[in-house]
Amino acid sequence: MSRALEDRRALITGATANIGAATARLFAQEGARLVLVDRDPAIEETAAGIRESGGDAHAVVADVSSADEVDGLVRVVDDALGGLDVLVNNAAIQRVGAVEAIPVEEWDEIFAINVRGYFLMVRALLSALRASEAASIVNTSSQTGLHGAPGATAYSATKGAVIAFTKALALELAADGIRVNAIAPGWVDTKFNTPAITMLGGADAHGDLVRATIPLGRQARPEEIAAGSLYLASAQSSYMTGQVLAVDGGLT
């Protein structure tokens, strides 16, 4: 094992399950000390599992779309980690349906978590990242943010916004030595994609779509996306900033 994040201090949002949990486990295996954030109280189970495996993980129940709750994480990071080297903005929700059928409240909710939440996290933790000697921000986007997806206009719009935010932020923070990159997963075998699979007509129809459109012919495992985030967070990508790493089986 490379221990690519030995003694690095990292915060990961949306870490209860799916890509976020896989990323947390991998980062811990690679030596990172973690603060894991999710609005789902089950985040403590993820942190407990890491601790049982010998890792260092603290769980915090917080809503990334709430400025007050995000600002409260500054004290948590200082107390638990004594600083911050890596921020992984991963928290997200998915909403699907025809654009004319999307309630305004749902549109606002998905932007509040998928975009506003990333901004709030960066704003709150920027001072801690500036104090790091090798700070890195990894934002989770999506292949839908690169080319869009019918029936997923709201989700696609948020993930496209994450890409634009990443590129602008990378330019803004380069002088501070803070690298900012995004990862853009394709189809990943997680429950997160259940709404999209249902919209497509179920598992069989989705499987046909995957085989027809993804050159590698399958979905990713969450651990494969986590590996991409590890690369962007670590010194292995030390000369990369403002980039979007597509991990999508050749789809884009």
pLDDT at residue 230 is higher than 70: yes
- Whole-model pTM: value is 0.95
CB 232 within 8 A of CB 200: no
**Which has the closest alpha carbon to 34: 244, 126, 49?**
49
Active-site pick, 118, 155, 231, 239: 155
In sequence order, the β-bridge partners of residue 245 are 183
Residue 191: predicted pLDDT: 85
* Residue spans per domain, the chain: 9-246
Count CB-CB contacts under 10 A for residue 54.
Answer: 8
Residue 225: predicted pLDDT: 98
Q: How far apart are CA 53 and CA 186, in angstroms?
A: 29
Q: How far apart are CA 120 and CA 103, in angstroms?
A: 24
Is 155 a known active-site residue? yes
16 Rama sector, left if φ>0, alpha if ψ -120 to 50, beta otherwise: alpha
pLDDT tens digits along 17-56: 999 999 999 999 999 999 999 999 999 999 999 999 999 9
Q: What residue type is assigned to position 207 of the chain?
A: G
Residue 1: predicted pLDDT: 54
Give backbone dihedrals phi and psi of 57, rounded to 5 degrees, phi first: -145, 135
| 9-246: CATH number | 3.40.50.720
